[in-house]
Amino acid sequence: MSDTATNPSNRMAGSPSRPAIVCENLVKIYKVADLEAIALQGLDLVVEPAEFVAIVGASGSGKSTLLSILGGLDVPSAGAARVGGFDLLQMRPPERTRYRRDVVGFVTQQTSRNLIPYLTATENVEVPLRLAGRSGRERRRLAHSLLDQVGLGDRLDHRPRELSGGEQQRVAIAVAVANQPEVVLADEPTGELDSATAAGVIDVFRSLADDHGVTVVVVTHDQELSTRVDRTVAIRDGRTSSEVVRRAVTGDAGDTRVVAEEFAVLDRVGRLQLPAEYVDALELDRRVRLALRPDRINVFPDRIAPSPAPASGAAPASASGAGSGSDALTRARRARALHRRGAPGSSPGGNAGSPPGHDPGGHPDPGPDGSSDDPTPEVAP
Ligand code: ADP
Ligand code: MG
């Protein structure tokens, strides 16, 4: 968006290091009659300013619940959620109104629900500007400028029914960013659009983040959208389970390409979700054995009996965390210290495009000191 129309970076100038969004152990329980539905169960999420993040997950995993909490439309049951310096659990009604008007912009999937049907595109964009107390002349100028920037300069006086789905979504984005929000949230914004139209909408979000410093969080099933974001966060059963991070790397020849790496998410108390396909592949059930290695943790099915641990290794321990050998801890700490100093053979081992936790070299494989350190039996599912 342009200079005066939207320049959220001004708002953020005083606090460059503060994340735009922080959710910690977020819980949302819906009560319907006597039944409770736990939509979010201890979700953790941090989004940095100007980051463009996609949220993906199966239907019913809690994506829309998360977005309506972040949008100030719904109140969490427990945990912590802060957006743009606002505490979403403690906000009182006047603050909530200000938050929804000034800090976040919201776009829903149903194109028709984002806009007032009897108002023109310009008048729709003017609604939030009017609520923010802008004068009539200023409102019109800003509305035209915003519509121009989403490519609708020639549709200013069209009503929603006179616009295509993609055009309506672009008006909705102009409405959502009219008051220069720090954060724009969109729930399946391209869900009702064909791929060419969706691409135009994605361009608008990308530009909001890149050119205007807006933090953008989009719930999506759209594969194309997923490849255009900085990070894709997967939600499973109301918790974040894995992340794909994309970054540009420059090759030796000066060529630039985007590398995607997938990670499992570790929460503050050390919990992680194993990918469902891994759990199925090894028929893991209820508990697993863990074995600490200098540079990794191995996970074994409960039914695989541990072999006797060598003097310097760790005996496979139960998932309760008991029984990790202190030798193994010492070796792991030593390996980590070497890694920090950048010792040879201690590469971080990025595994682009692999599933989370995928071991590119198979196992057992040499530890950082070059020795095979795996005392445990082969895992034969
Ligand atoms: P998603 O957007 O990932 O499909 P939702 O956040 O809409 O998932 O829903 C997560 C869970 O919470 C589902 O089991 C859903 O049935 C339940 N849920 C969502 N909204 C409500 C509500 N207003 N009342 C009761 N249950 C709800
Ligand atoms: Mg949903």
Q: Report domain extents, the chain.
A: 8-264, 276-353
Ligand 1 pocket check for 77: Cβ under 6 Å: no
Among 31, 36, 64, 68, residue to substitute to test ligand 1 (most atoms within 8 Å of Cβ) = 64
Ligand 1 pocket check for 59: Cβ under 6 Å: yes
Determine phi and psi for 155, rounding to 5 degrees. -130, 25
- Residue 61 is predicted with a pLDDT of 93
DSSP assigned state of 274: P
Neighbouring residues of 200: CB distance < 8 A, sequence distance ≥ 6: 151, 166, 170
Ligand 1 pocket check for 35: Cβ under 6 Å: no
- Residue 118 is predicted with a pLDDT of 96
- Residue 288 is predicted with a pLDDT of 93
- Residue 105 is predicted with a pLDDT of 93
Q: Report the 10 Å Cβ neighbour count for 9.
A: 16
DSSP string, 100-133: IIIIEEEE-S-GGGGS-TTS-HHHHHHHHHHHTT
Q: Which residues surround ligand 2, an ion (CB under 5 A)?
A: 64
Ligand 1 pocket check for 63: Cβ under 6 Å: yes
Ligand 1 pocket check for 343: Cβ under 6 Å: no
Q: Which two tokens stand for residue 369?
A: 């000191």
Q: Is the dihedral of CA 171, 173, 176, 182 positive or negative?
A: negative
- Residue 16 is predicted with a pLDDT of 56
Report the predicted TM-score, pTM, of the whole model to 2 decimal places.
Answer: 0.78
DSSP string, 166-193: HHHHHHHHHHHHTT--SEEEEESTTTTS
Ligand 1, atom 14, lies closest to the CA of 60
Contact between residue 88 and residue 75 where contact means Cβ atoms under 8 Å apart = yes
Ligand 1 pocket check for 30: Cβ under 6 Å: yes
Q: How far is CA 174 from the centre of its chain?
A: 23
- Residue 343 is predicted with a pLDDT of 56
**100: closest CA among 184, 173, 23, 20?**
184
Separation of 65 CA from ligand 1 center, angstroms?
A: 6
Atom in ligand 1 nearest the alpha carbon of residue 32? 25
Vertex 302 angle, CA 299 and 304, to 5°:
85
Q: Which CATH architecture has domain 8-264?
A: 3-Layer(aba) Sandwich (3.40)
- Please give the Cα distance from 148 to 205 (Å, whole number): 15
The pLDDT profile of the chain, 381 residues, written as one tens digit per residue, is: 444 344 333 343 445 578 999 999 999 999 988 899 999 999 999 999 999 999 999 999 999 999 999 999 999 999 999 998 899 999 999 999 999 988 999 998 777 788 999 999 999 999 999 988 899 999 999 999 999 888 899 999 999 999 998 899 899 999 998 988 999 999 988 887 788 888 888 888 998 899 889 999 999 988 888 888 999 999 999 999 899 999 888 888 888 888 888 999 888 888 888 988 899 999 998 999 999 998 999 999 988 766 655 554 444 444 444 444 678 788 878 877 877 776 554 333 334 334 444 443 334 444 344 444 443 444 333
Q: Which amino acid is at 149?
A: Q
Q: Which two tokens stand for residue 370?
A: 């070059």
- Please give the Cα distance from 174 to 27 (Å, whole number): 31
Q: Is the dihedral of CA 141, 143, 149, 153 positive or negative?
A: negative
For strands 21-32 and 183-187, give the pairing. unpaired
- Residue 377 is predicted with a pLDDT of 41
Ligand 1 pocket check for 39: Cβ under 6 Å: yes
Count H helices and E strands in the chain, helices first.
Answer: 10, 14
Among 65, 70, 241, residue to substitute to test ligand 1 (most atoms within 8 Å of Cβ) = 65
Ligand 1, atom 15, lies closest to the CA of 60
**48: closest CA among 101, 12, 14, 6?**
12
- Please give the Cα distance from 168 to 191 (Å, whole number): 13
